[in-house]
Amino acid sequence: MKKQKEIKKIPAIINCDPGIDDAIALIMAIKSDLIDVKLITTDLGNVSTEQAGQNTLNILELIGADDIPVACGEGKCLEIERPRVAVHGKTGLGSYVFPKNSRKLLKGDAVDIMYQTIMAEEEKTTLICLSPPTNIAKMLLKYPDAKDKIERLVFMVGSIEQLKRGALPYAEFNVAGDPEASKAILKSKVKLEIVPMEMGHTAYLDWQDVFKTKNMNFVGSVLENLYREYKDRHVKNGIATHDSCAIAYITNPEIFKVEPVKVDIRYYDKLGTGVFVMNFDKTPNALTCTEIDIKKFKKLYFKMLKKCK
Ligand code: BDR
Ligand code: CA
């Protein structure tokens, strides 16, 4: 019999705020043959950290991945609290009612647990951030020795769109939610790879994809139910896929065009709304995706769904 090639999985920690597109991303990461999700931490973003924690447990239960530990963050921005617009329904996962879940969140703060998980791992850990990065910034500030054990930070954040028109870019949610945390991350010099807003707006799911999702299996029918309340106003005829693009970038980098970029955080109004300013002509301090192959991304999405029940 032909011996199957052993695939080495990438040890990863996901910091997120489920969130409907976060839910797809979690499923995609867990169902992938390439990512070993060691820990999920929740941050202040689409909903409170506790609600995001409960939502994460519900998603894990839905796909039978109830052995992955989940820890909540403190729920306070690094320096200044920021207003947030809710676009994922009341609970963060539309109004779908998940069955009662007896699993508990880990005791203790996400920042300490993230650090312990990174240090306990023999290999370097890949951090994946799908929300404002408050927990990650706090961890890097509290435990600077963690940096040497971090392979890279793949961050769904920012926008490149409006730079071309000479104006400041759109205040994407994950940077605007805690710009000081993003600043601390840039300062830490951790290896940063950005998956900006344009990816999830380009590779959105149209209504035909949503229909196919619904009829695929039970998990698909739950996702379709969640999609009914996802209100990303940039996508008029379908569902934005932001956070799952970050997972696709890790598992299938060949479907993206990537360019070196110089990133700075700027504030553009009196409220201190933060944006990522990406400059392609200056000495780079990060990489950013600039294009995505829509067809191949959708293929990955349905491949992930096929692995569910
Ligand atoms: C980001 O904002 C959130 O609402 C989504 O979950 C995603 O992480 C996109 O701007
Ligand atoms: Ca998110």
Q: What is the pLDDT of residue 162?
A: 63
Q: How many CB atoms lie under 10 A from the CB of residue 121? A: 16
19 lines ligand 1 (CB under 6 A): yes
Q: What is the pLDDT of residue 100?
A: 94
Q: What is the pLDDT of residue 268?
A: 78
Selected residue with higher pLDDT from 270 and 51: 51
> Distance (Å, rounded) from C-alpha 213 to C-alpha 49?
28
> Distance (Å, rounded) from C-alpha 300 to C-alpha 30?
13
Is 43 in a helix, a strand, or coil?
A: coil
177 lines ligand 1 (CB under 6 A): no
1 falls in which pLDDT band (50, 70, 90)? low
CA atoms within 13 A on the CB side of 138: 22
Q: Which amino acid is at 221?
A: S
Taking the CA of residue 18 as reference, the ligand 1 atom at the shortest distance is: 6
Does this model's pTM top 0.85? My answer is yes
Q: Residue 155: nearest ligand to its CA?
A: 1
CA atoms within 13 A on the CB side of 11: 15
Mutate to test the pocket of ligand 1, among 232, 244, 275 (most ligand atoms within 8 A of CB): 232
Is 17 in a helix, a strand, or coil?
A: coil
User: Which CATH architecture is the domain 10-271+284-306 placed in?
Assistant: Alpha-Beta Complex (3.90)
214-234: pLDDT as tens digits: 999 999 999 999 999 998 888
Mean pLDDT of 121-141: 98
Mean pLDDT of 3-10: 80
Q: What is the pLDDT of residue 46?
A: 93
Given a cut of 90, is residue 246 above it in pLDDT? yes
- Across the chain, the runs of DSSP E, i.e. the strands, are 10-16, 35-42, 70-72, 125-129, 150-156, 192-195, 256-267, 274-279, 286-292
